Structure 1
Amino acid sequence: MTMPPYTKGLHRVGTHTYAYLQPDGSWGLSNSGLVVDEGEGLLVDTLFTLALTEELRSAIAARLPGVEITTVVNTHDDGDHTFGNQLFADRTIIGSAAMAAHLAASPSADYFRALIERAVGGEAPGALETFVRERMGSFDLSGIEMTPPNSTFAGRREVGVGRQRVHLIQVGPAHTEGDVLVEVPADGVLFTGDILFAGSHPVIHSGPVGRWIEACELIEGMAVETVVPGHGPVTGKPAVRRLRGYLERVAEHAERGLRAGLSVSEAAGRFPLEEYADWTDPERIVLNIGAVYRELGAEDGDFAELFVQTAEFWAGRR
């Protein structure tokens, strides 16, 4: 099937499948997915704010009148894939058990709302203030009630949507603690959540990075042709291979940097970003090298401090 254009809105990617895209896919602008059959709908991920999730719901109603969303699957616990869950609180919301446990312990929407408000109001320090204001300052996170999955699983699970069978495959911990792939075998379509960032640097929140590489290898061996990433345009397996190569490169670079006694920022500054010049969000290299450092036992891998360093790295490249 021809890949749809990378424009905002609902795009058909298979007989029973749709991708809801949010360009440019940067911080907070994630994709969602939809599987439909016999009037039933399974939604893959909600969005970062209630307003954005309402837009998604309205787009589905306009394009597919009469379709009822009966099930939501959260591919992982990041807010840009879960904060809209409350709009479907009376439906079945599925996530991996690891994802649900991590969500319960993760910073709430109020934490991120306060961070954005401090940045917009000029209360955050220096580069961090500017970074958060410019990258996330347009998001209104008010009114969000954290709504975790009400149905969990580990490993694999099959879900019915009308006559269609949807396969849920846990591949985390990788990007986060409990990442899940959503496969629609009849259409040859795979929704990856943030196991795939297409056209941008990913973020390694959890790791180990080796598990993420294994998840990419799993996808490469699957009988799918169309891949809907968590961020970026609808794509195919070549994008998965390129991301796998990037993760391998980051892991090798970080290990060499740590052996050489480099700080995370110093190692990030020496990473060959020019080889990924067509990717957005290069500042995430700081978080990614920091995650590998953390995995290797280094003490300078604290996420809060790395986020400040990420902002400083971003400011230095403007």
Structure 2
Amino acid sequence: MLHGIRAFTGSRHFQLKEVIEGVFAAIAVPGTGSLGNAAIVDLGDATLVVDTFTSIQAAEDLQAAAEYLMGRKVSYVINTHWHSDHTCGNQVFVPAAHIISTSITREIMDTFVRDRIMQQLAKPEAIYEAIDEIDEQIQRETNEKLRQEMQWDTASDREYMKMLPNLVYSLPNLTFDQRMTIHGSKRNVELITFGGGHTQSDALVYIPKDRIAITGDLVLSKHHPVLMYANPQQWLDILDKVEQLDIERIVPGHGEVCSLNELHEVRGYIKNLLEIVTDAAQRNQSLDEITIPSAYQNWFFTTYFKSNLQSLYKWIKKIGK
């Protein structure tokens, strides 16, 4: 189906990659309305989309790609977790498609996220002021890699804010608590949650026949994992369970299609930062003095490193009480 990818006019928001015949990764283009990756899966008699990007336009392009490749409307959409870069495009796919998530993810979307969107709509000027402040910081930034990433961040933020007045926040209408299987005429997919690691509840899509996992942000390829809402120990436990599945290829939440090697790298990152922050806490060392370990200096999402340290410090103090 590679000719189908070539014939699809494309999108500025993502690049289509064929993982295996009938399974496509939509890899986010930095600084656009995608931010996170998505995926398209041919079930034979139905089409499944995994995650829906940050903006309506990016989701419309994803829908167009899915319909072009499969010749039919999308039947199922999976939200791997509640973050906006995986859910804000949901409205494009309803009512034709069922939107699926874990019960906890839907509850968070219906409360915390909905409230946050209302606040953003009520006071957009505060967000634009924050973006302008970062633009000023970019002018002073001398590290070219960090400067580029900050530019991508603010461009994505502006895309989100431009889209926000037209957002019809669309919640999942099917939920599950452990596992759910969708049986297709060509392949089955298993929706699995082992609990919450990256967020309070994370799901992955496992395709046993093809030995593929579409992991959301449980696995990232050459990007700093985002630990803002994370439980690092549970995340490590979840990665151990994911590794026990029969997996050859991974479509990560961010970065290029990868393998178990990147799962190992994410696990190593979380363990490494836990050790660094635990040591700093014991020695009363300032987190500001900690620099990015050399193994991760070429990874993207550089701006999350400092906030990751702070998140881990809070978590260590919390469990130490």
- Report the TM range for the smaller structure's normalisation: 0.7 to 0.9
Letter in 1 for 2:177: A
- Runs of 4+ in structure 1 displaced over 6 angstroms? 113-116
Q: Indicate yes or no: 2:296 matched with 1:290.
A: no
**Other structure's SS at 1:72 match:** strand
Q: What is the CA distance between 1:40 and its match in structure 2?
A: 0.8
Q: Is the 2:292–2:305 contact (alpha carbons within 8 Å) kept by the matching residues of 1?
A: no
Out of 160-169 and 201-210, give the one that drifted further: 160-169
Aligned to 2:261: 238
Alignment of 1:147-186 (within 5 A): 147-186=170-209
| Alignment partners' CA distance in 2, 1:277 and 1:145 | 38
Q: Is the 1:9–1:59 contact (alpha carbons within 8 Å) kept by the matching residues of 2?
A: no
Q: Is the 2:55–2:159 contact (alpha carbons within 8 Å) kept by the matching residues of 1?
A: no
Aligned to 2:43: 37
Relative to structure 1, the CA distance from residue 224 to residue 25 in structure 2 (aligned partners, 3 Å threshold; closer, same or farther) is: farther
Q: What is the CA distance between 1:136 and its match in structure 2?
A: 2.3
Alignment of 1:93-242 (within 5 A): 93-107=99-113, 108-111=116-119, 118-120=126-128, 122=129, 126-127=133-134, 133=154, 136-139=157-160, 140-142=162-164, 143-242=166-265
Q: Deviations over 1:104-141 (max 9, x none)?
A: 23234455567875454x46684487556355234432
Q: What is the CA distance between 1:63 and its match in structure 2?
A: 2.6
Q: Indicate yes or no: 2:85 matched with 1:62.
A: no
Structure 2 gap segments, 5+ residues each = 6-12, 138-149
| Alignment partners' CA distance in 1, 2:81 and 2:284 | 34
| Alignment partners' CA distance in 2, 1:115 and 1:203 | 26
Aligned to 1:74: 79
Q: What is the CA distance between 1:94 and its match in structure 2?
A: 0.9
TM-score, length-scaled by structure 1: 0.81
Q: Is the 1:44–1:74 contact (alpha carbons within 8 Å) kept by the matching residues of 2?
A: yes
Q: Deviations over 1:214-240 (max 9, x none)?
A: 222223222111100011100111111
**Other structure's SS at 1:68 match:** coil
Relative to structure 1, the CA distance from residue 55 to residue 129 in structure 2 (aligned partners, 3 Å threshold; closer, same or farther) is: farther
Percentage of pairs with the same residue: 24
| Alignment partners' CA distance in 1, 2:21 and 2:14 | 20
Match of residue 275, structure 1, among 295, 312, 318: 295
Q: Deviations over 1:40-90 (max 9, x none)?
A: 10111111010110011112222332x221111110000000001112232
Relative to structure 1, the CA distance from residue 85 to residue 256 in structure 2 (aligned partners, 3 Å threshold; closer, same or farther) is: same
Letter in 2 for 1:18: F
Out of 216-225 and 244-253, give the one that drifted further: 216-225
Out of 213-222 and 67-76, give the one that drifted further: 213-222
Q: Is the 2:34–2:58 contact (alpha carbons within 8 Å) kept by the matching residues of 1?
A: no
| Alignment partners' CA distance in 2, 1:31 and 1:117 | 29
The count of aligned residue pairs is 289
**Other structure's SS at 1:34 match:** strand
Letter in 1 for 2:271: E
Match of residue 25, structure 2, among 16, 19, 23: 19
Q: What is the CA distance between 1:145 and its match in structure 2?
A: 1.7
Structure 1 gap segments, 5+ residues each = 299-318
**Other structure's SS at 2:163 match:** coil
Letter in 2 for 1:83: C
| Alignment partners' CA distance in 1, 2:256 and 2:77 | 22
| Alignment partners' CA distance in 2, 1:123 and 1:204 | 21
| Alignment partners' CA distance in 2, 1:123 and 1:243 | 30
Q: Deviations over 1:135-189 (max 9, x none)?
A: 5234432211221111111112212233421111113311111100100111111
- Richer in helix (by share): 2
- CA RMSD, Structure 1 to Structure 2 (Å): 2.8
Relative to structure 1, the CA distance from residue 68 to residue 127 in structure 2 (aligned partners, 3 Å threshold; closer, same or farther) is: closer
Q: Is the 2:33–2:55 contact (alpha carbons within 8 Å) kept by the matching residues of 1?
A: no
| Alignment partners' CA distance in 2, 1:217 and 1:209 | 13
Q: What is the CA distance between 1:212 and its match in structure 2?
A: 0.9
| Alignment partners' CA distance in 2, 1:14 and 1:214 | 28
Letter in 1 for 2:86: H
Relative to structure 1, the CA distance from residue 195 to residue 27 in structure 2 (aligned partners, 3 Å threshold; closer, same or farther) is: farther
